[in-house]
Amino acid sequence: MKQVLLVFLGGGLGSSARYLIGRLLNTDSNGIPYGTFAANIIGCFLIGIIMGFSLKHNTFSQNSVLLLATGFCGGFTTFSAFAYENHVFLKSGDLASFALYTLGSLVLGFAAVFFGIWLIKIS
């Protein structure tokens, strides 16, 4: 039960942080949803840092990983919003924004995870 509460707490904090970033960055309803994009890339970077640290130093407990990676990063990033926003682009015929947002999210998301792990590895 403790693990469920840790994921719940981390997820709530992550979701709140994502909401604030969305409010700050999603200012134009007809453009790239920069808040979701930023949350997903930052979340990828953070999970790279967290998991890289966890793998490098065996002092990171399973509970810490549940709170930070599963909870916070899981609540902070949002695949469902990403998928819906792409649906809106396709429905409106905005193929350029669809392609830019999808490819940018995938490429930069993977790069952010790898970069986070690499930073921990070299430290």
Instruction: State the DSSP string of 61-122.
Output: -HHHHIIIIIIIIHHH--HHHHHHHHHHHHHHT-HHHHHHHHHHHHHHHHHHHHHHHHHHHH
The CA distance from 86 to 8, in Å, is 28
Query: Residue ranges for the binding site?
Result: 74, 77
Could you report the per-residue pLDDT of 22-50, keeping only the tens digit for each?
Answer: 999 988 766 889 999 999 999 999 999 99
- Tens digits of per-residue pLDDT, 66-106? 999 999 999 999 899 999 999 999 999 999 999 999 999 99
> Residues forming the annotated binding site for Na(+)?
74, 77
Predicted model pTM: 0.91
